[in-house]
Chains A and B, each alone.
Chain A
Amino acid sequence: MKNSLILILILLSGFTFGQKVSIQGTISSYIDGKNTEPLFGAEVFLKNAKTGDITDEKGKFSIKAEANSADTLIIRASGYYSDTAIINSNETINFRITLYPEFVTEEVIIRAKRDNSSILRLDPRNVENLTQGELRKAACCNLSESFETNATVDVSLADGVSGSKRIQMMGLNGRYTQLQFENIPFMHNLDQAFGLASVPGTWISSIQITKGAGTVTNGYESMAGLINLEYMKPDNIERLFVNAYGSIQGRAELNLHGGKQLNDKWSSAWFVHGASVKAENDRNKDGFRDIPLGDNLILMNRWKYTTELFRAQIGAKVSHTDQQGGQIGYNRYANQTQQGLYGVGIRNTNVELFGKTGFLFKEDLFSSIGVVYYMKYNELNTVFGNRSLDATEKRGYVNAMHETILGNTNHKLKSGLSFVYDDLVQTMEDNLPNDTTIRDFNRTEIVPGIFSEYTYTGSRSIVVVGARADYHNLYDWQFTPRANYKFDLTEHMDIRLTAGRGFRVSNYVTDNLSLMATNLPWYVDNDIAPEVSWNFGASWLYDFMLFKRKATWTADFYHTLFENQLVVDRDESNDYIRMGNLSGSSFSNVFQTDIKFLPFKRFEVKAAYKFLDVRATTGGELSTVLMVPTHRGFINFAYESRNHRWLYDLTLSVFGAQRLPQVMRPDGTFTEDNLSEVVPMLNGQVTHKFKHFEVYIGGENILDYRLDNPIIDSENPFSERFDATRVYSSIFGVNVYAGFRFDLGSKK
Chain B
Amino acid sequence: MVVLFSFLTSYAISQKSETSRPTVFIQTNAQCEDCKERIEGVLNFEKGIMYSSLDLETKKIEVKYNAKRTSLEKIKNTIAAIGYDADDVKAVKTAQSALPECCQPGGHD
- Residue numbers of A with Cβ under 8 A of B are 9, 11, 26, 33-34, 36, 96, 112-113, 639, 641-646, 648-650, 684-686, 689-691, 697, 699, 702
The answer to whether B37 touches A34 (Cβ under 8 A) is yes
Q: Give the nearest-CB partner of A683 in chain B.
A: B3
Knowing A33-B37, A34-B37 touch, does A642 contact B7 (C-beta < 8 A)?
no
Report which of B3, B10, B33 forms a contact with A641, defined as CB distance below 8 A.
B10
**Residues of chain B with a CB closer than 8 A to A642's CB:** 14, 50-51, 53
B108 within 8 A of A: yes
**Residues of chain A with a CB closer than 8 A to B100's CB:** 36
**Residues of chain B with a CB closer than 8 A to A689's CB:** 45
The answer to whether B3 touches A96 (Cβ under 8 A) is no
**Residues of chain A with a CB closer than 8 A to B44's CB:** 643-645
12 contacts between A and B (CB under 8 A): A11-B109, A26-B101, A34-B37, A641-B51, A644-B44, A645-B44, A646-B10, A648-B6, A684-B3, A686-B2, A690-B45, A697-B2
- Measured CB to CB, the closest approach of chain B to A130, in angstroms, equals 22
Q: Give the nearest-CB partner of A28 in chain B.
A: B100
Knowing A648-B7, A691-B45 touch, does A643 contact B102 (C-beta < 8 A)?
no
The answer to whether B102 touches A650 (Cβ under 8 A) is no
B27 within 8 A of A: no
Q: A26-B101, A34-B38, A641-B10 are in contact. List 7 more A-B contacts (CB 8 A).
A: A33-B33, A643-B51, A645-B45, A686-B2, A686-B3, A689-B45, A699-B3
Interface centre among A34, A649, A697 (most CB of B within 10 A): A34
B41 within 8 A of A: yes
Bound-state Cα–Cα, A112 to B50, Å: 24
**Residues of chain A with a CB closer than 8 A to B34's CB:** 34, 36
Classify chain B's interface size: 20 to 34
- Residue numbers of B with Cβ under 8 A of A are 1-3, 6-7, 10, 14, 32-34, 37-38, 40-41, 44-45, 49-53, 100-102, 107-109
The answer to whether A112 touches B14 (Cβ under 8 A) is no
**Residues of chain B with a CB closer than 8 A to A34's CB:** 34, 37-38, 41
Q: Give the nearest-CB partner of A649 in chain B.
A: B3
Q: Give the nearest-CB partner of A650 in chain B.
A: B3
Knowing A34-B41, A96-B102 touch, does A643 contact B49 (C-beta < 8 A)?
yes
Knowing A96-B102, A112-B33 touch, does A699 contact B45 (C-beta < 8 A)?
no
Q: Give the nearest-CB partner of B46 in chain A.
A: A691
- Measured CB to CB, the closest approach of chain B to A458, in angstroms, equals 31
Bound-state Cα–Cα, A179 to B41, Å: 37
Bound-state Cα–Cα, A477 to B51, Å: 64
**Residues of chain B with a CB closer than 8 A to A645's CB:** 44-45
**Residues of chain B with a CB closer than 8 A to A690's CB:** 45
- Measured CB to CB, the closest approach of chain B to A373, in angstroms, equals 38
The answer to whether B7 touches A643 (Cβ under 8 A) is no
The answer to whether A699 touches B41 (Cβ under 8 A) is no
Bound-state Cα–Cα, A699 to B1, Å: 10
Bound-state Cα–Cα, A113 to B37, Å: 10
- Measured CB to CB, the closest approach of chain A to B15, in angstroms, equals 12
- Measured CB to CB, the closest approach of chain B to A6, in angstroms, equals 12
- Measured CB to CB, the closest approach of chain A to B72, in angstroms, equals 18
Bound-state Cα–Cα, A479 to B2, Å: 55
**Residues of chain A with a CB closer than 8 A to B14's CB:** 641-642
**Residues of chain B with a CB closer than 8 A to A685's CB:** 3
**Residues of chain A with a CB closer than 8 A to B38's CB:** 34
**Residues of chain A with a CB closer than 8 A to B7's CB:** 639, 648
Bound-state Cα–Cα, A648 to B44, Å: 17
- Measured CB to CB, the closest approach of chain A to B30, in angstroms, equals 14
**Residues of chain A with a CB closer than 8 A to B49's CB:** 643
Knowing A9-B102, A690-B45, A691-B45 touch, does A643 contact B52 (C-beta < 8 A)?
yes
**Residues of chain B with a CB closer than 8 A to A26's CB:** 101
The answer to whether B50 touches A686 (Cβ under 8 A) is no
